[in-house]
Structure 1
Amino acid sequence: MLNTIPKIMMKKGLLVSLLAALSQLAVMPVQAQTCQDLVTDLARYQSDAQLGSYRFANDVGEAVLDIPEAQSYSAYIRATQALIFARNPKARLPCELATKVSALLPSQPTQVADYVAPFELTHPNNQKAVLLIHGLTDSPFTFHTLAADLYAQGYDVRTMLLPGHGTAASDLKETDYRDWQQHVRYAISRTASDYSDFAVLGYSTGAALATTEIAARRPDNLAALVLVAPATQSHSEKAWLAKWLDWLPWVDWVDKAADLDLAKYESFPLHAVTLVEQAMADMREASLPASLPTLVIASDVDATINSQVTYQLLSRWAQARTAPLALRVYAPDALTALPESIDITEVSTLDGVIDMSHIGFLNPPEHPYYGKTGVFRNCDAYLDDTRAFTHCKTTDTPHFGERSQANLAEHTPLIRVSFNPDYDPMTTQLVEFLGKAMQ
């Protein structure tokens, strides 16, 4: 083959360039046809992790929206959708998933942007709403079942998109903590203005941001607060160092992954650690109004968040409490040392699942993407072992549970469970809680 290359190409520099280009073509992934293809083509994981194909946002427009306080929620949703289409490199990838919310939206979702964008579900002349706030690296897609179930109970439902999300992980490097605060403040105050009664449900980092905002500025018509896997403190004892390392220009990423999940980032910039550390620190200092009914849903074995710190916070909130404070906890062993004033529901066993993970609460087993037989499997524990990773992704006999060292040692392969066998009983408790608070 080299004999056919023109002599001018034989110059050392040009030959090296040509060979480098050919090597890049050899590893370049074939363009996926759908969002489902993206996560079932196992060869893509290594190549996309190396190339960062979906790690970086398109350089179009600003990464963070400026939201006028008087902006309508429908205008906010439209502006956010436009940002996603502009900056998300997967935005127009065909994607059709039969989620419960899909059937309720004005138009059927057909591409990735439709699933990660914020949405609202409304009834005519309704005055009760629930605002849902997602967590770090996540998107409103995490509420594509719960939102529909709450809507079926007669509530209007709104979701929001935290700045830096819904596009690509690199946009988290362009986001400031004040951006998160501003957007959460807007969503809460706008919903308070639009409805007679409403509740807020925050998941993980969304729970922390909601708690801090409500502790500082509780709207008079806020009837209830629900915190799912609230981000109180991470298990990492060195996470506090992130704010100092973030100043070093050569330290950018904690994790560089393939980012093939349609709705959640898999790569993790260091700056995101500084953001969530601030959110968690503020939550630990927050004092909720004693008269605000509050439901917390947590896992005792959460590998992301230290649930013991969550229990300590609940114990402080329980003092001088005048409204219900309830805890639904997934715990293999009985909890001790929590105040009797906290209404505790313990779930000790889960059908077909070892224990509950940080990412599993809000998806039922039949979820088309994250469910038991869904398209996506979280096998990140094996990213450095191609054979184990492939086995985890393809086996017919997986184990589902939290990504703990004990589970990894005892159960092979282990998929980090992204669904909840207890989803229906959990939702029943949630609906009853909201019904009493919003009578």
Structure 2
Amino acid sequence: MLNTIPKIMMKKGLLVSLLVALNHLVVMPVQAQTCQSLVSDLARYQSDAQQGSYRFANNAGDAVLDIPEAQSYSAYIRATQALIFARNPKARLPCELETKVSALLPSKPIQVADYVAPFELTHPNNQKAILLIHGLTDSPFTFHSLAADLYAQGYDVRTMLLPGHGTAASDLKETDYRDWQQHVRYAISRTASDYSDFAVLGYSTGAALATTEIAARRPDNLAALVLVAPATQSHSEKAWLAKWLDWLPWVDWVDKAADLDLAKYESFPLHAVTLVEQAMADMREASLPASLPTLVIASDVDATINSQVTYQLLSRWAQARTAPLALRVYAPDTLTALPESIDVTEVTTLNGVIDMSHIGFLNPPDHPYYGKAGVFRNCDTYLDDITAFAHCKTTDTPHFGERSQANLAAHTPLIRVSFNPDYDPMTTQLVTFLGKAMQ
């Protein structure tokens, strides 16, 4: 009995310590997480990649909107915002970033939902507009610089949200290819109805979807098409297997990551591969109207998309062209011969960057989130090695470039560059191109 007294006292002492600790946790204020602090919390990356804290959408309402053809664009935006608030587990996470667009929106963005939602910027009584369509796993946040720069040139600007996006990566499993087609068709036809003159700019998968829709149904008042890093064909030689593997119930995900990025999915469901494979196949078969001015912006070292296939497609489009076809390309080496009818601008060097990645085109170096000194660094290559990952996230001497084997071998740590040192010259060429097409 005497021998048990110290043990009982020890247990009581432990219990008291635990109660004090718990009381301390209750009494002490807990600092609220924000979209900025979330991506600075390195310990969360591996745990969230394993647990999928933000990988799965809230089970509230439908994952895909049904859009009536006659619906106004403002009503479409409101309905999409409601869907984001219902299904995005990060929707109400505090987020205040001074982007170029945030100062132009009707109300100041204060939470994640405000940044991933579609938006429009309008001038009084204006009849010229640009429709911007984002890419796979992305959101309208990718246009928070370009949209403002186009607006400053006098254009109204609209963005849309592809179904399955803006919420959580699991919603891509709830989306059909027809859903993407329907939403792109709505956005293009609605803009054609609302303006006397407009252009479409598509990025990556958005470029593929826009191309296919315009090839089939070009509105008479569509003045120009811009394709940024168009999704023509992936580098993966086995991507075509996805549509068969997608039938297997135990094969759901290609990648499982932390999904802490405020505006892009980092996890990647297998079903999304089948969707983008269909979009790319349709783009490769598309024949654009020869009279439609078209500008393509691409990287010769794009690790996501095979740029050689893009060049082949442009060469086919160049035949019998009656309108300008231009290519701005980031290429460390001189390109092989393209048809003379294609107006090629080659950018061989980039200040402070090894080369241009698939995700870098649309963000200027001073972007508050994806810029050179921005909040977010893409270090997913090192996610399995927490020491290397932390070094990549925190080093004062990073290397920025595309995520290629050559770059990874030669440069440590390598951050996949998410900004474009050539942003201003690129935007100047874009504005000049649109001005000539929409004069």
Q: TM-score, normalised by structure 1?
A: 0.94
Instruction: Tell me by how many angstroms 1:33 deviates.
Output: 1.4
CA offset digits 1:249-287 (Å, max 9, x no partner): 000000011000000000000000000000000000000
Instruction: Tell me by how many angstroms 1:31 deviates.
Output: 8.3
Change (3 A) 1:290 1:393: same
CA RMSD of aligned residues (A): 4.4
| Aligned equivalents of 1:3, 1:300: Cα separation in 2 | 77
Instruction: Tell me by how many angstroms 1:20 deviates.
Output: 23
Change (3 A) 1:11 1:75: farther
Change (3 A) 1:240 1:23: farther
What SS is found at the alignment partner of 1:75?
helix
Instruction: Tell me by how many angstroms 1:184 deviates.
Output: 0.1
| Aligned equivalents of 1:109, 1:56: Cα separation in 2 | 24
Larger radius of gyration: 2
Change (3 A) 1:127 1:55: same
Change (3 A) 1:74 1:15: same
Change (3 A) 1:413 1:25: farther
CA offset digits 1:272-320 (Å, max 9, x no partner): 0000000000000000000000000000000000000000000000000
Change (3 A) 1:3 1:421: farther
Change (3 A) 1:138 1:27: farther
CA offset digits 1:315-371 (Å, max 9, x no partner): 000000000000000000011121010000000000000000000000000000000
Instruction: Tell me by how many angstroms 1:399 deviates.
Output: 0.1
| Aligned equivalents of 2:336, 2:209: Cα separation in 1 | 28
| Aligned equivalents of 1:19, 1:173: Cα separation in 2 | 44
- C-alpha contact (below 8 Å) 1:29/1:44 kept by paired residues: no
Change (3 A) 1:100 1:251: same
Instruction: Tell me by how many angstroms 1:415 deviates.
Output: 0.2
Change (3 A) 1:396 1:317: same
CA offset digits 1:350-402 (Å, max 9, x no partner): 00000000000000000000000000000011111111111000000000000
| Aligned equivalents of 2:5, 2:75: Cα separation in 1 | 57
- C-alpha contact (below 8 Å) 1:9/1:15 kept by paired residues: no
Among the aligned pairs, what percent are the same residue? 94
- C-alpha contact (below 8 Å) 1:32/1:38 kept by paired residues: no
| Aligned equivalents of 1:15, 1:305: Cα separation in 2 | 59
What SS is found at the alignment partner of 2:3?
helix
Change (3 A) 1:250 1:11: farther
- C-alpha contact (below 8 Å) 1:229/1:298 kept by paired residues: yes
What SS is found at the alignment partner of 2:295?
strand
> How many residues are aligned here?
439
- C-alpha contact (below 8 Å) 1:290/1:322 kept by paired residues: yes
| Aligned equivalents of 1:79, 1:219: Cα separation in 2 | 25
Change (3 A) 1:15 1:432: same
Instruction: Tell me by how many angstroms 1:234 deviates.
Output: 0.2
What SS is found at the alignment partner of 1:6?
helix
Instruction: Tell me by how many angstroms 1:27 deviates.
Output: 22
Structure 1 window deviating more from structure 2 (20-29 vs 71-80): it is 20-29
| Aligned equivalents of 1:59, 1:3: Cα separation in 2 | 55
Partner residue of 1:340?
340
Instruction: Tell me by how many angstroms 1:8 deviates.
Output: 18
Change (3 A) 1:176 1:32: farther
Change (3 A) 1:400 1:30: farther
- C-alpha contact (below 8 Å) 1:357/1:403 kept by paired residues: yes
Instruction: Tell me by how many angstroms 1:50 deviates.
Output: 1.2
What SS is found at the alignment partner of 1:384?
coil
CA offset digits 1:122-172 (Å, max 9, x no partner): 000000000000000000000000000000000000000000000000000
Change (3 A) 1:19 1:383: farther
Instruction: Tell me by how many angstroms 1:55 deviates.
Output: 0.1
Structure 1 window deviating more from structure 2 (424-433 vs 333-342): it is 333-342
Change (3 A) 1:208 1:42: same
Change (3 A) 1:14 1:358: farther
What SS is found at the alignment partner of 1:198?
strand
| Aligned equivalents of 2:402, 2:84: Cα separation in 1 | 31
Instruction: Tell me by how many angstroms 1:22 deviates.
Output: 14
Instruction: Tell me by how many angstroms 1:32 deviates.
Output: 5.5
Change (3 A) 1:46 1:30: farther
CA offset digits 1:53-76 (Å, max 9, x no partner): 000000000000000000000000
Instruction: Tell me by how many angstroms 1:12 deviates.
Output: 23
Moved over 3 A (4+): 1-32
Change (3 A) 1:277 1:4: farther
Change (3 A) 1:61 1:412: same
| Aligned equivalents of 2:2, 2:106: Cα separation in 1 | 58
Instruction: Tell me by how many angstroms 1:409 deviates.
Output: 0.1
| Aligned equivalents of 1:187, 1:199: Cα separation in 2 | 12
| Aligned equivalents of 2:319, 2:423: Cα separation in 1 | 30
Change (3 A) 1:2 1:177: farther
| Aligned equivalents of 1:251, 1:16: Cα separation in 2 | 48
Q: Write the mapping of 1:14-413 to structure 2, written as runs, cut at 5 A.
A: 33-413=33-413
In structure 2, runs of 5+ residues without a counterpart are: none
CA offset digits 1:213-270 (Å, max 9, x no partner): 0000000000000000000000000000000000000000000110000000000000
- C-alpha contact (below 8 Å) 1:232/1:310 kept by paired residues: yes
Instruction: Tell me by how many angstroms 1:7 deviates.
Output: 16
Instruction: Tell me by how many angstroms 1:29 deviates.
Output: 16
| Aligned equivalents of 1:125, 1:91: Cα separation in 2 | 33
Change (3 A) 1:378 1:24: farther
| Aligned equivalents of 1:372, 1:323: Cα separation in 2 | 37
Instruction: Tell me by how many angstroms 1:16 deviates.
Output: 24
Structure 1 window deviating more from structure 2 (395-404 vs 380-389): it is 380-389
| Aligned equivalents of 2:179, 2:9: Cα separation in 1 | 51
Instruction: Tell me by how many angstroms 1:19 deviates.
Output: 18
- C-alpha contact (below 8 Å) 1:284/1:313 kept by paired residues: yes
| Aligned equivalents of 1:351, 1:152: Cα separation in 2 | 26
Structure 1 window deviating more from structure 2 (297-306 vs 44-53): it is 44-53
Change (3 A) 1:171 1:12: farther
Instruction: Tell me by how many angstroms 1:23 deviates.
Output: 20
